[in-house]
Each structure stands twice: as C-alpha cells, then as structure tokens.
Structure 1
Amino acid sequence: MRFLITIILLFVGFQFTYAQGCSDAGFCTMGAMKPDQNYSKRIAIKLRSVELNYYKGTSLLTPVIHAMTVDFTLGINDYSSFQIKLPYQWIKGNLGDNAGLGDISLSYTRLLKATDDWNINGTLGAKIPTNDANATVNNENTGGMDSPIHMYYQTSLGSYDAIAGISAISNNWLFATGIQIALTENNNQFAWSGFPNYPDQEYLEKYNRGPELKRGIDVMLRVERNWRFTNFNFSLGALPIWRITKDESIIPGTNERAKLDGTTGMALSVLASFGYHFDVNNSIKIIQGIKITDRDFNPDGLTRNDVLSISYVYKF
C-alpha cells in the first residue's frame, strides 16, 4: 500500500508539468483504441465493467476543463462488447464559466482474430452531440450581452462524428490506429466583438475563431509498452494524432465558408500510465502525458497544455 500511495503522489505531481493527453475529441479512449487494455490468451472473454473517470486539463489560454465520466463496457457475447461513455463537464476561464453534459460516445468492439500471442480487435462507433456548441455568457466583459463563448468553454463539440479503429494486443505491447470523421458542423458563433469590455484585446484575439466549424478528419496511432506484475502494471507510449484535412468554417464577417489554414498537422504526446489491482474486481489507473508538438491553429478548442486522468474500474 505504501508503494501504491507513492506512485499515485508521483503521478499527481506530474500534473504541474507540460503535458497533453488525448486532444482528439475522445476517440482515442474508445473500444479497441483505449490505453492499457488487458490481454488474455483465452478467446471467450465476456468483459463487463464500469469505470468512473476524473479528468482535468488546462488549455493553451486560461480555460481549465474538468470532466467526470461514467464509462460502461457490456459484453454481448464471447467475442464482442458495447461501450457507452457519459461525461459531465465544467469549464472555468477568463471569459466565463460553463457546465453541462458532454458528448455521448457509443462503440461496438469485436475480437477479429486471436493467436497464441496476439489479439486483434476492431471498433465501430459514433459521438452524439448534447448541444450545438453555442453556449453563451453574460458578464462584465460582454457589456450586458449574451455572448457565445469559444469552443474551449463548450461542453459539446456540436457535431455528429463517425469513428472506426483496430488494435493488436499482446502481453507486453499495444498497437492501435483509428479515424474520426465529423459529419456535421456545429453552431458556435464566438466572436471577439462579443467581449467589448475585455481589458486585454491582444489576449482575446488569441482565441482562434471558426464560426459554424466543421472539423477535419483525425487519424491516430497508439504505441504502448506495458509491464505487468501481480497487482500492478505500468506503461509508456506515444500517441500521435494527425488532422489530415483542413477544418472548415464561415469566414468572420461574411456568409462564405472556407478551409482554414494551419488546422492540419500532427499533435504528438508521450504517455505514461500506472494501474493497481486491489482484487479481481476493483482497480485504479492513472494516465499522464507530455506534450511534444501541436497544430498551429486550433478553433476547435481541443488542445491541452496539461492533462491528468484518474479512474476507478469495477469489473463484474
């Protein structure tokens, strides 16, 4: 137990370093693309679990994003499972505060092939928006107006997304890749003019604008090395995420839509995780990442400077 407490304190301490977790709207924690997956040589596994996750992330500007997520995984038969994630988010920053239900994640995962050393899994899924990503605030900075806030402050991405992925898992290694495609644009109308009393115009204009944004296509790759012991495990890995097509939005001040320069490219994180199993049913896991690179232009509000994720998992 002393060893466990020491490890937890070390990981919590890393919260104050520059780090970035999954900044891709969440598809890198769905189904076959999840980190720290268990491997078994048995084919017939019915996985049922409930995971309670607390997440804290700081943005490139002042907003701090918190989330509590309930993650259900339900075994359908010996080879497949269904996952649903229900997050509640609250955000605080210089432009205002916001809170509410986040986007709902649904995914179906199937064991495609099992050998003596590897399991191959495939996932199909979707993200369902809970609002149109156009929440407003009314405070001293807005001059008494109801002003839409930037995507950093929104609890939803405001779009329907399609997701697919595949992974290969052994006792020591996890390789996963996936794709996320935004099918619709959101209704975010954030504008610098909505905050006429904000005292620092130069800071305000650091919030990249993208009215009625449709995000480009994201492709991820996860490479993870795991070390497993009787009651605990830890891992090191890399998570590059490429936005391979440009975001698209209304050009501010016009009714024309256009592709946005600077929105493609790679966001790279180096990740570390620690897990402790109290018994066969109860465990905890902690994930922390170090930010290496990012995209130049981020109107979607997904970029994080610092991320820490702590989970309690009950398997039944």
Structure 2
Amino acid sequence: MKNYFFVLILVTVSTFGYAQGCSDAGICSIGHGFQSDEKELKNSVGIASVFGAGEADVTYFSPFISYTRKINENWALSSKVTFSSANGAFGTSTSLGDAFLSGNYTFETKNNKQWSTLFGFKIPFTNSDFKIDGKSLPLDYQSSLGTYDLFIGGNFKYNNWDFNSAIQIPVINNNKNSYFKEFSGTNDFPSTNRFERRSDALFRTTYTLKTANKKFIFKPNVLFIYHLGEDSYETIQGDREKIKGSDGLTINGNLLTTYVINNHNSIELSMATPFVIRDIRPDGLTRAYVVSIQYNIIF
C-alpha cells in the first residue's frame, strides 16, 4: 500500500508542477529499448505522441516512431525518428527532428543483479535555422539543435530497482541558428546565433511496481541531469560569448505507466515535470510539463 501511495504522490506532482521538463536533446529517453518477458519475440515498434508546454506560451506536439531488434539474449539495436511542431507568438514551425541509433548489451543476471551498457548516436535532420516570414526563430521553435551527438551509458538492475547513468556529447556542431533577441522585439528568449551546446550527464533511479495480474506496470523515476559547462553564441561583432547560468543541475520527476493488453501489445503513459532547473536554458528545452502516450507492438 505504501508503494502505491508513493506513485499517487508522484502523479500529483507531475501533473501540477511547473518548470523545465526532460531534456529533449535525447539523453532522457535513450535506453528505453526492448522490454519483453517473451524470449521468442524479437521486434518492438513504438508509435508515440508527445505534448508539452514551454516558455512564453509555446506549445509542442512531438510524435516519434521507434524500432528495436533483439538480436540475441545479450544484444539489441534500437532506432528512433522524431518530429516536432512548435506553436507560439512567432507562429508555427514544423519539421522532422532527429534520428537516434543505439546498441545495448545486457550481461547475464546473477543473484538478481544485472548490468547493461549502451552506445549510440543522434543525427539531426535540420541545422536549427528555420525562419517564419524571413524572421529568425529561437531554439524553442526549432525541431533539432543541429548537432551530431554521441551517447554512452550503463545500467545496473537489482530486483525492482534500476540505476542508470549516461553522457551525451555533441561531437559535430552544425547549428546555423541566427536568432538575436535584440532584433526580435521580445526578451523571452536569449540570443542563440551560431549556438554551441555543451555536454550533458545523467543519473536516473527507477523503481518498478506491478499489479497482481501484471496488467499495469508503474515506473516512478527521478532524473538528475547536469549540463557540463556554459553554452555560447556568436555576437553581432563575431565574438563568441558564453551564456551565464546555462550550466548546472536539473532534477526531473517522471512516472511511466504501462497497460499490458497482451503479449504483443501495450500502451504507455508518461508524465514528467522538474523539481530543480538551471538559471537559463538557451537550448530551447524548457518545458512546463511533458506528457506522452505510446503504443507498442511486439512480435
């Protein structure tokens, strides 16, 4: 009973909190991967719709599709393609976002303990330079940050607990954003001309709860995301200037609820909201909340 009371508290916090949601640069969602107790099922397809609200009344609709192939008992390969539509005072910007490719290796379980590792890439479909009516848009309206990123992570599972950590490193920066707040008529968003983003490090703790009939699975989790340095942009004079306060810690609360229809189909509802945020988030990842619903097909 205490465990389900904890879930209820987290749902309440996730619904009514306000600040920055999970980093949609990708580090929060990597490793979701193939999850099935059926050993003979090798493939998983996920179709999701993600809804969020950001700064200055910007709203987001960000669907994605994912595919995971379980090669054997140890190896799995995953891919995901994202799409984003941002709407606000500047107008509506819609485009493909990023492609994610990752591999996961799971070691043999011993004494209810299991280790796994992850390695992956993020590939952008845009250079983060979309405009509306010839006007440059801040990163809040862009569907991608325009960077090729590397992911490295690991997970430790013990009984119902999961502890995982990861780092997301921008390897190639192809960001060609040209937004200056001085020419925009608003101070809602910082200047991000030729934006350069620093790396992120993540640590997450997850506890899994299942109902007696195993139809419902609850996974409350807490994420600690540390932005490893201050981001920067290119000034009008051509100098590179750091954005003070853009580094530091974000703490997010998330609840993932899964309804298992049968061995081949399930529906997931995810709700996330922050408890601690950075002083300034020029990368456009600010969210008041993030709610997503995903349909999974396993075969």
TM-score (norm. length: structure 2): 0.89
- Percent identity between the aligned chains? 27
- Aligned runs of 1:126-165 on 2, under 5 Å? 126-138=121-133, 146-165=134-153
Is 2:30 the counterpart of 1:30?
A: yes
DSSP 3-state at the match of 1:152: helix
Residue 241 of structure 1 pairs with residue 220 of structure 2: no
Q: CA deviation at 1:17?
A: 4.6
Alpha-carbon offset, residue 16 of structure 1:
5.8
Q: Which amino acid is the alignment partner of residue 150 of structure 1?
A: P
Aligned residue in 2 for 1:18: 18
* Aligned Cα root-mean-square deviation (Å): 2.5
Structure 1's unaligned 5+ residue stretches are: 1-6, 139-145, 196-200
Partner residue in 2 for 1:87: 82
Deviations 1:49-107 (A, max 9, x none): 00111101111222111111101111122211111111121110101211011111111
Q: Which runs of 4+ in 1 moved over 3 A?
A: 10-17, 37-40, 44-47
**Could you say which residue in structure 2 is the equivalent of 1:58?**
53
Q: Label 1:192 to 1:260 Cα distance change in 2 as closer, same or farther (>3 A).
A: closer
Give the whole-Å Cα distance in 2 for the aligned partners of 1:125 and 1:156.
17
Do 1:272 and 1:289's aligned partners in 2 also have CA atoms closer than 8 Å?
yes
* Gap regions ≥5 residues in structure 2: 1-6
Q: Deviations over 1:142-198 (max 9, x none)?
A: xxxx11101010111111111111111244111110000112331111123543xxx
Give SS of 1:307's match: strand
- Cα deviation code 1:220-250 (max 9, x no counterpart): 1110111113211112221110002221221
Higher strand share: 2
- Cα separation, 1, equivalents of 2:123 and 2:58: 24
The AA in structure 2 aligned to 1:212 is R
Q: How many residues align?
A: 288
Superposition TM-score, scaled by structure 1 size: 0.84
Aligned to 1:205: 187
What does residue range 1-316 of structure 1 map to in structure 2 within 5 Å?
15=15, 17-18=17-18, 20-31=20-31, 34=32, 38=35, 47-138=42-133, 146-185=134-173, 186-195=175-184, 201=185, 204-229=186-211, 230-250=214-234, 252-316=235-299
**1:236-275: per-residue Cα shift (whole Å, max 9, x none)?**
221110002221221x221112332211111111122211
